[in-house]
Amino acid sequence: MHKPPLLFAVTLFSLLLTGCASPFVVTSPNPETGRFPTESSVASNEYKVFKPIDNLADQQFSILLTSLNSSMTGLDGYPSYIEGMLKECGIEDFVDFEYLEDFVIANGLGDKVPTLSNRIGLHLLSKYTGPYMIISADLTNEVLDRWSFTISVYDPVSSTLKFQVSHHNLVFFGRFREALLHPTFNALQEWLEASREAAPQKNEHYGT
């Protein structure tokens, strides 16, 4: 039976992924430059938000949200890869929403933090946990070999998005990390460096 060209291309790419090693292998940045190996870079119009946070060193923990929008096979290990790469960037101490719900219950905060499903609840939680970040990493197969990778950082204390980069590229499997993932993590490294250099300021949202 003759397969339509699009279906054939998708099937072929899936077979290539299945037959090769996983693209999700954690890589350390160059110790001299602090950047991950790549010949690609994020275009200026792919920077959606770049606002350094002035209390990066005071972040108590991070919540990590990952999304993989693809029907391709051979993409196992994505969530653990993202967490590993963020740790290479110096971001540690990840917790999930179940842990935070346990924290609210154990400390009798149910009436003060009635929900963790909206911005108000997440802001109220920060008054009792201290500042923290919500990081999302979304990988999407747009069509055939064109992919997008987006990293966002949300600050519940100020209830604002502090960083977002969405990188798009044509990706052949052998260069998956170098062409798509590493450039985006390098952009995150830029934001982290700018945040480390940001002078601490009075945060009216947190009452300090």
Residue 176's pLDDT band, with cuts at 50, 70 and 90, is: confident
Element (H, E) at 46: none
pLDDT digits (tens, 9 = 90+) for 82-107: 999 999 999 999 999 999 999 999 99
pLDDT digits (tens, 9 = 90+) for 108-166: 999 999 999 999 999 999 999 999 999 999 999 998 889 999 999 999 999 999 999 99
Q: Tell me, what's the pLDDT at 73?
A: 73
CB 29 within 8 A of CB 141: no
Neighbouring residues of 186: CB distance < 8 A, sequence distance ≥ 6:
35, 36, 38, 41, 42
The amino acid present at 161, given as its one-letter code, is L
Which has the closest alpha carbon to 185: 85, 56, 55, 114?
A: 85
Q: Tell me, what's the pLDDT at 201?
A: 58
Q: Tell me, what's the pLDDT at 1?
A: 47
Which residue has better confidence, 203 or 170? 170
Neighbouring residues of 5: CB distance < 8 A, sequence distance ≥ 6:
none
- The arithmetic mean of pLDDT across residues 11-28, rounded, is 62
- What rounded mean pLDDT belongs to the chain? 87
pLDDT digits (tens, 9 = 90+) for 47-90: 999 999 999 999 999 999 999 998 777 788 999 999 999 999 99
Which has the closest alpha carbon to 53: 139, 146, 135?
A: 135
Where do the structural domains in the chain lie, given as residue ranges? 46-197
For residue 202, pLDDT over 90 is answered with no
Which residue has better confidence, 153 or 173? 153
Q: Tell me, what's the pLDDT at 136?
A: 98
* pTM for this prediction: 0.85
Neighbouring residues of 160: CB distance < 8 A, sequence distance ≥ 6:
51, 154
User: Which of these CATH numbers, 3.40.50.620, 3.40.50.720, 3.40.50.10070, 3.40.605.10, describes 46-197?
Assistant: 3.40.50.10070
For residue 14, pLDDT over 60 is answered with no
Q: Tell me, what's the pLDDT at 21?
A: 67
Q: In the chain, where do the E strands start and end?
A: 47-50, 62-69, 94-95, 133-143, 146-155, 160-170
For residue 10, pLDDT over 60 is answered with no
Residue 172's pLDDT band, with cuts at 50, 70 and 90, is: confident
Residue with tokens 């967490």: 83
Residue with tokens 């990840």: 94
